[in-house]
Amino acid sequence: MTKTVLNGRLAFAAVMLVGLILPAVFERHMVDLLVYAGLYTIAGLGVGLLLGQCGIVNLAQALFYGIGAYASAYSTVTLGWSPWSGILLGIAISVAVALVIGFPLLRLHGFFLALATLAAGTIGTIFFFEWDWLTGGTLGIGGLPPLSVLGFEFNSPARFYYLVWAVVIILLVLSSNLVSGRPGLAMRALRDSAPAAEVMAVNIHAIRTKIFALSAGLGALAGSLFAHYSTYVSVESFTVQRSIVFLLIPVIAGARSIWGTVAGALFVTFVPELLSGFGDAHQMLFGIMLVLVVTLMPDGLAGIPARVARRFAR
Amino acid sequence: MSLGKRIFFGAPALAMALIGASAAAEPVRIGALLSTTGGLAGLGIPQRDGVLLAQKLINANGGVGGEPLEILMEDDGSNPDAAMTKVNTLVHSQGVKAIVGPTGIAQTVAIGSVTQPLNIPVLAFTGIGPAVENARNCVFHMTPAQGLNARALLSYAKEIGAKRVGVLHDSGYGQVIWGVMSKLGDEFGVEFVQVEKFELSASDATAQAAKVKASEPDAVIVLSSLATPFRNLRQVGLTAPIISVHGTATYEIVKAMGDAADNIVHAEFLIAEDPLPYQVEFVAEFQKEYGRLPKHFEAAGYDAVMATVAALKRASSNAAPDALCQEVRTPYQGAFAQYDFTAKDLGGLTLSSFSYSLLTKGKFSRLPFKASQ
């Protein structure tokens, strides 16, 4: 084992240890924000896979996030299903929708594809508003049951924290494996030079569609978990603005970094909260901070350790 | 007196003074969760003004049983997710006794899942909403439910003999009220001849307004909190009476209506130009503090704090949440209206709570009509 690998594992173990004790140390409000950061990491991971590995800008993630949330809400509150069934239903519907809309949309490229996903997200928000027999419209759906395993309910921020971050770590490991394997090579090939990848017998359209469906599934999972955490869903949580937040996560983190997604999610969760004390000016300040991060850190927050290491190596 | 004697007599006195000061400085905390930014800011900001006025008056009159009242103000940005985060802060970190707000119905339903299990009283600026709220007996409602709003508007339409009614509503709260109103036509002898919807974000609803006008209605009911539909209805030349829900009965929205603001009837609660006897004191205090007239959103903010403090005084400032919740559950004469928090909808507003006003050059004047059950 090389020294670098050993240091990396020690750092990972230290982070895990700190993560384990955070709910005991932090106030409930902070734990609540960490839960949201975990949920946003899952949704942002999907957007990051598309952006960082395939070069696709996805502005429709709130659509899949919403499908997951509403599938969970409707199946548990109206149909009386178990929460876990609702989560699976949400993922299945989202993946199906992603395949149906992704097949034609993903033939587009660049700005046109970004605009097409924006349109899909906007249409989704309108459907959430209009189909009030299903979504509750403006009133939303309340009274979702908390998730539980063998009678143990995840009904507080501290309990939900451990659930959501366990899911986050599993997904990050799986995504890292995906990216470092053959599919990852193919994705990067099509991102860097689609014609060259095609010459190498990479089925560009199939890969883009599969990753889009995977991203949708992650969005739906995040939405379902969000629904059971907040026990209430309304259309205001699934607007295009939320899609932009999900896109910001990999942009801030450094789009090509899988584990950096966590830093991006922490940024979009905590910074607006810290700035909220400035009242109406807080959105402007958040915008300024975004510009600073993107301008001063082209590799995103995930690039900071490498920068620091380079500086010390001089 | 020698130095030793000074210390001997002075130290206990100083200690007592410090203890007294620290006890006096310990305030009674209430959370105010409002939408002062975002889409609902037009309602949340006036509510905040009413809340702050109540706090000032209470503290000027001895506080809550001698303890100062501290209101911890949080802005949810008109977003239910943010409301959840903020309410967790207020309840678990700040230890508030009760919460006034939220401004929006989505936020109210959302935070109820946090406050209800703890029996923390919430005095929300919304009417009772979806079925899940029926089981929440510590979430009180300071404004009318959708069904009551719909009935108040149709009562006036019936009063003026309008049988063919057009409806122009937005895709947000307007759609919610329309959902109830659409089932009440027969009860009030009204036919809805044209119903048009526009998006909340729309800057123009001329096409929808033209369709409503083309249906030649006896009156048009507008269900929105925006000035846009009123301007558009007048632009297409509508001369039929316009009846509006109370959401647009604010001086800011009326100003935004421009010339279109004339001859609009609002089913509302506080006509500050001609207040009811129980509203006179609030109107005078508000005008003295802010130099302008209040409307019912300011009154609701004021009432929510006053009703909470009245309950705190009855229950004692260190009462357990369920005891405080029980004390809120009583009739209360507010500046907005006479509440009955023992009612099934935990607000107790009725059709007779409404006043009807006519807009003339940006001023509201009281109409003699009163709706009855």
Number of other residues whose CB lies within 10 A of the CB of residue B330: 14
| A184-239 pLDDT per residue, tens | 888 888 888 888 888 888 888 899 999 999 999 999 999 999 999 988 898 888 98
Between CA B213 and CA B190 the distance in angstroms is 17
The answer to whether B44 faces chain A, any CB pair under 8 Å, is: no
**pTM attached to this predicted model:** 0.83
Mean pLDDT over the full length of chain B:
90
> Minimum mean pLDDT among B21-30, B37-46, B80-89: which range?
B21-30
- CA–CA gap between residue B222 and residue A121 (Å, rounded): 29
Chain B interface, best mutation among A128, A139, A274, by max B CB count within 10 A: A139
Which 3 state secondary structure label does DSSP give A257?
Answer: coil
pLDDT in tens, A161-199: 999 999 999 999 999 999 999 888 888 888 888 888 888
**pLDDT tens-place string over residues A62-73:** 999 999 999 999
Ordered structural domains, chain B, with CATH: 24-144+278-353 (3.40.50.2300), 146-269+354-366 (3.40.50.2300)
CA distance B146 to chain A (A): 11
Contact B226, B252 (CB under 8 A): no
pLDDT exceeds cutoff 70 at B266? yes
CB atoms within 10 A of CB A118: 17
Answer whether A32 sits within 8 Å of B88, measured CB to CB: yes
State the burial class of residue A85 (Cβ atoms within 10 Å of its Cβ: 0-12, 13-18, 19+). middle
Would residue A278 count as lying in a domain? Answer: no
For chain A, say whether B105 makes contact (Cβ under 8 Å).
Answer: yes
CA distances from B370 to B146, B242, B298, B338 (A): 19, 17, 22, 15
The whole-angstrom distance between B45's CA and the closest CA on chain A is: 12
B10: confidence class by pLDDT, cuts 50, 70, 90: low
Residues in A lying within 8 Å of B, measured between beta carbons: 27-29, 32-33, 36, 129-130, 132, 136-143, 157, 230-232, 234, 236-237, 273, 276, 279-280, 283
What are phi and psi for residue B71, nearest 5 degrees? -105, 120
pLDDT at position B21, please?
46
Contacts of B92 in chain A (CB under 8 A): 27-29
E strands, A179-306, are 232-233
What pLDDT sits at residue B118? 93
How far is the CA of B332 from the CAs of A83, A94, B137, B250, B304, in angstroms? 41, 49, 17, 24, 10
In this predicted model, what pLDDT tens digit does every residue of B162-217 receive, in sequence order? 999 999 998 878 888 998 999 999 999 999 999 999 887 778 999 999 999 999 99
Q: Does the structure show a pLDDT above 60 at B1? A: no
Please say if the pLDDT value at position A283 is more than 90.
no
- Comparing B9 with A281, the larger pLDDT belongs to A281
Q: What is the pLDDT of residue A275?
A: 84
Domain that holds residue A160: 28-238
Collect all residues of chain A within an 8 Å Cβ-Cβ radius of residue B85: 29, 32-33, 36, 273
Q: What is the pLDDT of residues B114-158, one digit of tens each?
A: 899 999 999 999 998 877 788 899 999 999 998 999 999 999 999
> Is A34 inside any structural domain?
yes
Predicted confidence band at B3 (pLDDT cuts at 50, 70, 90)?
very low
What is the per-residue pLDDT across B28-48, written as a single tens digit (0 to 9) for each?
Answer: 999 999 999 888 888 899 999
For chain A, what percentages of helix, strand and coil (3-state, to nearest 5) are there? 80, 5, 20
Report, as an integer, the average pLDDT of A55-62.
94
Two tokens at A285?
Answer: 């300040």
* Spatial distance between the Cα atoms of A164 and A39, rounded to a whole number of angstroms: 7
Point out the residue among A29, A137, A232 whose CB comes nearest to the CB of B93: A29
The verdict on residue A290 lying in a domain is: no
Q: Is the pLDDT of residue B357 over 90?
A: yes
Q: Which of A240-249, A250-259, B194-203 has the lowest mean pLDDT?
A: B194-203
What is the reported pLDDT for B24?
53
- Position A57 in a domain: yes
Cis peptide before B331 (omega within 30 of 0): no
**Residue A138 contacts residue B104 (beta carbons within 8 Å):** no
3-state secondary structure string across B101-154: CCCCHHHHHHHHHHHHHHCCCEEECCCCCCHHHHHCCCEEECCCCHHHHHHHHH
In a domain, A265, yes or no: no
Burial A256-289 (b: 16+ CB within 10 A, else e): bbbbbbbbbbbbbbebbbebbeeeeebbeebeeb
More confident residue, B225 or A71: A71
pLDDT at B12: 52
A293 found inside a domain:
no
Choose the closest CB to B85 out of A32, A130, A234. A32
Residue A189 vs residues A51, A93, A243, B171: alpha-carbon distances, Å: 13, 30, 26, 45
Tokens 């109409």 — which residue?
Answer: B367
Q: Out of B36, B110, B175, whose CB is closest to A232?
A: B110
The mean pLDDT value of chain A amounts to 90
Cα–Cα distances in angstroms (integers) from residue A88 to residues A92, A209, A289, B37, B243, in the given order: 6, 20, 37, 36, 47
| Contacts with A137 from chain B: Cβ below 8 Å | 175-176, 179
Share of chain B above pLDDT 90, in %: 69
% chain A with pLDDT above 70: 99
Contact A232 B113 (CB under 8 A): yes
Would residue A291 count as lying in a domain?
no
Mean per-residue pLDDT, B347-373? 91
The residue of chain A nearest to residue B86, with distances taken between CA atoms, is A29
Looking at residue B235, what is its pLDDT? 93
Length of chain A: 314
Q: Report whether pLDDT(B300) > 90.
A: yes
- Tell me the nearest-neighbour CA distance from A169 into chain B, angstroms: 24
Residue at A55 is within a domain:
yes
Count: domains in chain A = 1
Would you state the pLDDT for residue B133?
A: 84
Radius of gyration of chain A (CA): 20
**pLDDT greater than 50 at residue A115:** yes
CB-based contact (8 Å) between B172 and chain A? yes
Band the pLDDT of A309: cuts 50, 70, 90: confident
The single residue listed with the structure tokens 């503090």 is: B289
CB contact under 8 A, A236 and B78: yes
User: Residue A76's pLDDT is what?
Assistant: 96
Could you tell me the CA-to-CA distances from B13 to B9, B20, B23 in Å, in that order?
Answer: 7, 10, 15
